[in-house]
Structure 1
């Protein structure tokens, strides 16, 4: 995206409908003759607060938001996150990743991750980062989104520097404005074409970004390129259960040190999140804003994101790999 989104960007749809539109385009084959009818039906069925859209309206809005980009996975996910920045503008809304809940839940900490609703999301970030000691390290967080996880690691794990980069420019702008921590910075970057010299970082951290990319293998090669010898790839992501990426990480020139299926802990977090979300909702004023956030937590995260994990079609992997040589 090169132009900030406004309500006019979505007309005649609204932001909620547009988010469901890009969900549908991510899932439905683009070459099907009936794709726009299927997209319109998906939007109408999920965004029940608004009139059922026409297929041509969906096509028009998609073209406007994509601004000429090829509708591959990278562009579609980037568009979704641009729309989410417009839909969820509040400064407290700093995480968008799925969380992790330990079998014996860890008590909430008094500070570092913001609202208690983010405890599970922050826990996923910290366990991913804690696969190696980041004290004094130069860290690149690829797919930093609204910056909550990046800022949390900056506050709690004492890296020398940590740079969060994302392809969704409105999210990067949000992160720059909201998070102010020594050694922390944010920038715009394409995960598949990282704009950094070889051997720039001690660690590349990435949480729920690789599944959003059109070419995951290219990102893995880029991660290996920008790592210093002995540097670490620290990854957490959901994957099709039949396509775990261990051989792909190795093919990129990285040695897998450890990997763990953490699906059970992610689902456990989704099961416990509604109570925390309801407590947050009770603090928001009644009206459309509260309903928008209620749908995010109860429907988008706890129901929709959890469906594939609960069904066994997808698993959630935590991985640590090292660049040798």
Structure 2
């Protein structure tokens, strides 16, 4: 019942959805101040072919499947020597991984949650990544500032996603690319494709990775369940279980039965 209610609320009106997500992203870093909890995505189980082509991670590392979501997205972007922006950088672990292992010229994270940015400044100080508080629909950057924009499981929560896409097109240099992963219903993906076209962006890659995410959720379930029991207050566990997409949550069930899809897309600003 709680899962159905939360699922409907976060997919309701644009303004309410944005306020609810902002509340969640402001609250959870305070509830979970753990310095090693760097990621908030659902995780990604790479294929053997991806491990061979794009490299492997330390699979004993805490939250390695959530790290893998970033690794196998950014490795495809070939970010070395490029200026990279992540919009919706959250707790900062993904951008830090990209900055430390893939050697971009610069790595900038932008997030609307002040508590998330404070967490990043405290826990990622001294790394090549920098983190700024700001609005995805009114980015504090000039035109033609970046070669690559990353967006991981984030833009579904924005009040005006079409405006976000236009902002991406503005801050990208000619030939620059948006690398995005997100979870949506089919009709909502169709809207995103429309907004990309209207912003003058060309969709050059579109892959359904739902099975990789479902597998990651299932394989991470014992660890995630134990951590929630250990670290999350009792009164917040049901809500956090839904937010985290655990096995049995509405998100997990809808993703597994195909009602919603988790996709990886690449869109390019024309050169």
| TM-score, scaled to structure 1 | 0.71
Aligned 8 A contact 1:81 1:171 in 2: yes
Question: Residues 120 and 130 from structure 1, CA distance in 2 versus in 1: closer, same or farther, beyond 3 angstroms?
Answer: same
- Per the alignment, residue 201 of structure 2 pairs with 254
Aligned match for 1:267, one of 214, 231, 235: 214
Aligned match for 2:182, one of 204, 216, 237: 237
- Per the alignment, residue 97 of structure 1 pairs with 41
- Per the alignment, residue 322 of structure 1 pairs with 268
Structure number with higher relative contact order (C-alpha < 8 Å, ≥ 6 residues apart): 2
Shift of 1:146: 0.6
Mapped to 2, the partners of 1:21 and 1:247 lie a distance apart of 29
- Per the alignment, residue 120 of structure 1 pairs with 65
1:179 equivalent in alignment to 2:120? no
Aligned 8 A contact 2:96 2:127 in 1: no
Shift of 1:76: 2.0
- Per the alignment, residue 203 of structure 1 pairs with 148
- 1:263-302 → structure 2 map (5 Å cutoff): 263-277=210-224, 281=227, 289=232, 296=240, 300-302=244-246
Mapped to 1, the partners of 2:20 and 2:119 lie a distance apart of 20
SS at match of 1:194: coil
Mapped to 2, the partners of 1:27 and 1:241 lie a distance apart of 14
Aligned match for 1:160, one of 105, 124, 137: 105
Shift of 1:182: 4.1
Shift of 1:223: 0.2
Q: Deviations over 1:118-158 (max 9, x none)?
A: 11111111121122210011111000001011111111111
In structure 1, stretches of 5+ residues that fail to align are 1-16, 30-69
Question: Residues 230 and 181 from structure 1, CA distance in 2 versus in 1: closer, same or farther, beyond 3 angstroms?
Answer: farther
Mapped to 2, the partners of 1:267 and 1:190 lie a distance apart of 30
Shift of 1:88: 0.9
| TM-score, scaled to structure 2 | 0.85
Aligned match for 1:310, one of 232, 253, 256: 256
Question: Residues 147 and 292 from structure 1, CA distance in 2 versus in 1: closer, same or farther, beyond 3 angstroms?
Answer: farther
Aligned match for 2:10, one of 22, 26, 29: 26
Shift of 1:229: 0.6
Q: How many residues align?
A: 261
Q: Deviations over 1:39-71 (max 9, x none)?
A: xxxxxxxxxxxxxxxxxxxxxxxxxxxxxxx94
Shift of 1:24: 6.7
Shift of 1:109: 3.1
1:85 equivalent in alignment to 2:29? yes
Mapped to 2, the partners of 1:80 and 1:297 lie a distance apart of 13
- Per the alignment, residue 92 of structure 2 pairs with 147
Aligned 8 A contact 1:199 1:226 in 2: yes
Aligned 8 A contact 2:40 2:244 in 1: no
Q: CA RMSD, aligned part only?
A: 3.1
Rg larger for: 1
SS at match of 1:242: helix
Aligned match for 2:57, one of 76, 99, 109: 109
Aligned 8 A contact 1:100 1:123 in 2: yes
Mapped to 2, the partners of 1:225 and 1:22 lie a distance apart of 34
